[in-house]
Amino acid sequence: MAPRHPIRPQYRTLLLVGEGETEQAFLQYLKALYVQRGSGLRVTVRCAHGKGAGHVVDYAIRQRVHQFDHVAALLDTDAGWSSAVQKRAREKRIQVLKSEPCFEAMLLRAIGQSANGSAKDLKARLAPLVHGDALNSLHYATNFGVDALQAGRLIESTLDELLRLLAT
């Protein structure tokens, strides 16, 4: 007699925490681009709503609840990043994906543009590349397609780490 319930395949589970809404939108875009249904990987994207690197790591720790195989946090190193935060993340097995000095700089460098200037300047320079709305995950497709991301991962180690997490 056949079992009543089919055996479900085991999935790897990954929690990605973005420092703010912009990082969350980009992570959602990458999830849609790289994680296919039935791939064996379940990705959850959450937003820590800013407040610096320490808050992002603490938020990731609180979200973990032992339901994820792996947890990673994408955060800026320009606010709140310290050796104590790094140690806390390591102790709780949170993989830190550092955007140095900020997320916008990382994205600009990944597509071969200069990342010099203040965070405000970098946000302004990124805006036209995402149709003026960095919070809409669909707007990353134009300038951050698969080819651009594959080339960018050779330039940006953080992007490479992130894409490795999404590989099945």
Q: What is the DSSP string of 51-113?
A: S-HHHHHHHHHHHHTT--SEEEEEEESSSS--HHHHHHHHHTTEEEEEESS-HHHHHHHHTT-
Mean pLDDT, the chain, rounded, equals: 91
pLDDT (0 to 100) of residue 75: 94
Report which secondary-structure segment, H or E, holds 12.
strand 12-18
* CATH class in words for 12-166: alpha beta
pLDDT at 6 over 90: no
pLDDT band at 33 (very low <50, low <70, confident <90, very high): very high
Residue 94 near residue 123 (C-beta atoms within 8 A): no
Residue 26 tokens, joined: 């980009």
pTM of the predicted protein model: 0.91
| Domain ranges (residues) in the chain | 12-166
